[in-house]
Amino acid sequence: MQFAFSLLAHNPLLLLFAVVALGYPISKIRLGGASFGIASILFAGIALGALVVTPDLDPVVKKDISKEMKLIYELGLAIFVYAMGLAIAHSFWSSFSKEGIKKNATVAIVMFVSTGAVITVARLFHFDSRYAAGLLAGSFTNMPALAGVIEAVKRTTSDTLAIAQPTVASAIAYPIGVLVPMLSIPLSRRFFKVDLEKEAASLHGYSSGSSQLEAETIEIEARAAGMTHVDLRERANCKVVFNRLKRGGEFIMAPLDIALEEGDLLVCVGTPEDIKRARAFLGRQADIALQHDISEYDSTRVFVSNHDLIGRPLRDLQLPEKHNCMISRLRRGDVWFVPDADTVLELGDRIRVATARDNIAAVEELFGDSYRELSEASFLTFAMGLAAGLALGQVPIPLGHGIIFKLGFAGGPLVVGLILGRFHKLGHFVWNIPYSANHTIRQFGLVLFAAGIGVISGEGFRQILARNLAWLPIFLASAFIVATLADTLAYWLGHKIFRIPLSVMFGIVAGTHTQPVVLGYATQQSKNDLPNVGFAAVYPLATILKIVLAQALLALTI
């Protein structure tokens, strides 16, 4: 065993991947329906770091480990937050709607109150601002915030114990930051006495997508004559897309602005609930199922890989008028949804396109349909955006009274990612990358960060707990107080004051903790996709606030 530890100490890259190999299987273990995910790699890194970086280890070897792991975790963090910024940009900017402001106001209030709670418990239990900042990051399970704290600490000291303090508090608090919000879901459901199934049925407008879409042919009756697609959406709150239309004996692709006429046979695509709602407004189910008639028109599934189509809303592409085709369904990630005129295509989208049978080859060429292009992320634009984010992170921002704040390796790339992801494409540069590539890059970056920061903190973790084991129950109790207060306040503000549906609140609480494990549990408990709506709306702001507030704690004398 001593030989193995020595081998790892003299081979930092071997140590890095030993941490990943040990922590990743642990991340898949589920207890009570929950797992710690990537945090397991952080715990594995702390454990191996404590065992490998021993007091009698050669100081030169210690310095080499620290130097290499620093580069690794900074690289991993920058990659992760930049890719995350690109991925969540759409949700972030759309969150400034009326409903989005309510959701984010809930999170902002909760985070500021929670920061005050951290200061209170820090004074109560007599621990300093470095521990307090780590406690905030751990109670809300946010690694970018922890990284920002560590980076800020390193600007003021090179002491190993001081640098390890935030990680110690964060690692101990992390499990509480997962378990408390999970427990809050069934407890809040009982307390507020909400029937989640009835609630979901009444919240048609909140739907973010569906795993089930269907097509139906509707015969247009006199009451719907003159109605357009926009009219149907506005008057019936109905998210369907018009597909092909038979008027007289002629088939056409239904453009967005077409005015319906009595007797038209119209193929509509949407969720079963939307189809039912559209039928009630437009007419009745036709005796003929045109969606199954492929004599003249058919549909094909295509991958979007043509860069020229990215960043433009569908209304500008004029697909029915120019290309005799219509996108009836779009799959992004694991969810199908019905596109509308404002939908902007992204690389890697999977779409179902209806068109004339002799036009299928032209449609596939139009959208690209290239697996090779999808598998080759644009490293030029990725590197340009990441470099801009790292540069922004080093810009000093004066806060007054001699306090200087930097966005750092976490905040800078995140802000640039959110901005570039909003525009999709500038000139010839496409900033967004395919969903699958983005997800892989994010996971890889987070793994590097968790492993690197864990190894660096292992020695300090061992020394701190060896000197005073009482820190363990102190930080557990502190995290429980902070997380319980935060979640209780979130439900009270969001559900009782802002009247946000409880299922959506589950996602907001998960987003406040930036915790996908909690989101998965919330979706399982609610049996609908409404938690995803709340999570996506608040995740960006919650992440940014934690990065800022955790570093602000360092400037306070507690």
Beta bridge partners of 283: 220
Contact 421, 86 (CB under 8 A): yes
Contact 338, 237 (CB under 8 A): no
Instruction: Look at residue 379 and tell me if it is in a domain.
Output: no
Instruction: State whether 63 and 38 are in the same domain.
Output: yes
Instruction: Look at residue 99 and tell me if it is in a domain.
Output: yes
Site of tokens 């549906």: 501
Instruction: State whether 91 and 46 are in the same domain.
Output: yes
Q: Which residue, 30, 46, 28, is CA-closest to 38? A: 28
Instruction: State whether 13 and 101 are in the same domain.
Output: yes
Beta bridge partners of 300: 353
Instruction: State whether 264 and 298 are in the same domain.
Output: yes
Instruction: State whether 300 and 411 are in the same domain.
Output: no
Instruction: Look at residue 28 and tell me if it is in a domain.
Output: yes
Q: From first to last of its 558 residues, what are the pLDDT tens digits of the chain?
A: 778 888 888 888 899 999 989 888 877 776 655 556 667 888 888 888 888 888 888 888 888 888 888 889 889 888 988 887 888 787 677 767 766 888 999 999 999 999 999 999 999 998 889 999 999 999 998 877 887 788 788 878 877 778 788 988 988 888 888 889 988 998 998 999 888 877 776 665 555 455 567 889 999 999 888 888 888 887 877 788 888 888 887 888 877 678 899 999 998 888 888 888 899 999 999 988 887 877 777 888 898 888 888 878 888 888 888 888 888 888 876 667 778 778 888 888 888 888 888 899 999 899 988 777 666 557 788 999 999 999 998 888 776 666 666 777 777 888 899 889 888 777 778 888 877 788 888 888 888 888 888 888 788 778 777 877 888 899 999 999 999 999 999 999 999 999 999 988 998 999 899 887 687 678 778 877 678 778 878 887 888 889 889 988 987 765
Instruction: State whether 193 and 141 are in the same domain.
Output: yes
How would DSSP label each residue in 452-516? HHHHHHHHHHHHHHHH-TTHHHHHHHHHHHHHHHHHHHHHIIIIIIS---HHHHHHHHHHHTT-H
Structural domain span for residue 30 = 2-200+392-554
243 token code pair: 């597909």
**How many CB atoms are closer than 10 A to CB 13?**
9
Distance of CA 301 to the CA centre of its chain: 26
**Sequence-ordered list of residues with C-beta below 8 angstroms from that of 75, at least 6 positions apart, any chain:** 445, 448
d(CA 432, CA 310): 9
Instruction: State whether 7 and 67 are in the same domain.
Output: yes
Do you know the residue count of the chain? Answer: 558
Instruction: Give the sign of the dihedral formed by CA 240, CA 244, CA 246, CA 247.
Output: positive
345 token code pair: 């295509």
Instruction: Look at residue 383 and tell me if it is in a domain.
Output: no
Instruction: Look at residue 380 and tell me if it is in a domain.
Output: no
Contact 77, 140 (CB under 8 A): no
Instruction: State whether 111 and 177 are in the same domain.
Output: yes
What are the pLDDT digits (tens) for 183-206? Answer: 899 899 899 988 887 777 666 555
CA 493, 497, 502 angle in degrees (round to 5)?
A: 70
Instruction: State whether 184 and 215 are in the same domain.
Output: no
Q: Which residue, 64, 163, 74, is CA-closest to 394? A: 74
d(CA 148, CA 535): 23
DSSP code for 368: B
Instruction: State whether 413 and 308 are in the same domain.
Output: no
Instruction: Look at residue 384 and tell me if it is in a domain.
Output: no
210: phi then psi, degrees, rounded to nearest 5: -155, 150
What are the pLDDT digits (tens) for 353-396? Answer: 888 888 999 998 999 887 776 665 577 889 999 999 999 988 88
Instruction: Look at residue 214 and tell me if it is in a domain.
Output: yes
Instruction: Look at residue 362 and tell me if it is in a domain.
Output: yes
- 3-class secondary structure, 257: coil
Q: How many domains does the chain have?
A: 2
Q: Domain containing 238 — which CATH number? A: 3.30.70.1450
Identity of the amino acid at 4? A
Instruction: State whether 185 and 298 are in the same domain.
Output: no
Instruction: State whether 214 and 192 are in the same domain.
Output: no
